[in-house]
Amino acid sequence: METKSEKLLSELKKLANVGNIEGSAVVARNGLMIASDLPRDVDERRLGAMSATMMGAVETAAITLNKGTIKRVTAEIEKAILVAMGAGKKAILVVSASPNANLGMLMVEMEERVKNIREIIGV
């Protein structure tokens, strides 16, 4: 039987087949790494902690603005685009793509994966 982590990893592997995606991870909203498919030189535990912090901070800003919940957080970095999307109550999906990635396609793919990830995690 496939374990939860294996199932999550196979969801992330599907993302790896999408052009311009360089790495992805399922991170707990508390910052702990649940599953990752990242380049070897990336400090995954730190990326997890910081992605969760970023998500938490934006969520707090959204609540302060009184404008509803967040759909995703996109950070445009010099050599990458970093996107974080909620995946249920407990987790977020984080994707790093090259700057020339098609954002629309990326979002569609991420939303597809998020559906499955939510099911696997169960909350």
Partner 1 sequence: MRTGIRILDDKIGEIPDNVAVLLSTSPGIDPASFGINIMDTALKNNSKCVYIVNNKPASAVRREASTMGLDLSRYESNNLLYIIDAFSGYMGIHSDEKHVVENPFETKNILDEVKKVQGDIIFIDSASSYIDMKEEVEELLRMIETLKKKMTVVALFSAWEYEKEIVKSIKNNFDAVLNIKPVEEVTIVRQFLFPEKIGWKKIKPFAVPVKVLKPGGVKVYFPKILVTGPYNAGKSSIVKSLSNKVVSVDRMGTTVALDHGYMDYKGFAADIYGTPGQEDFDPILQYLADEAVAVILVVDSAKPETFIRAKDMLSKTKAYGLPIVVAANKQDMGNALSAEDVKRKLGLPGDVPVCPTVATEKKGVELLLDELTERLMR
Query: CA 89, CA 110: separation in Å to the nearest integer?
Result: 16
Is the CB of 94 or the CB of 121 nearer to partner 1?
A: 121
Query: CA 35, CA 103: separation in Å to the nearest integer?
Result: 23
Query: CA 77, CA 63: separation in Å to the nearest integer?
Result: 25
- Which residues of the shown chain bind partner 1 in the complex (CB under 8 A)? 3-6, 28-34, 45-46, 49-50, 52-57, 59-60, 63, 90-91, 121
Query: CA 103, CA 116: separation in Å to the nearest integer?
Result: 20
Is the CB of 73 or the CB of 101 nearer to partner 1?
A: 73
Is the CB of 60 or the CB of 102 nearer to partner 1?
A: 60
Phi, psi of 96 (to 5 degrees): -115, 125
For the bound state, the minimum distance from the C-beta of residue 19 to partner 1, rounded and expressed in Å, comes to 28
For the bound state, the minimum distance from the C-beta of residue 1 to partner 1, rounded and expressed in Å, comes to 9
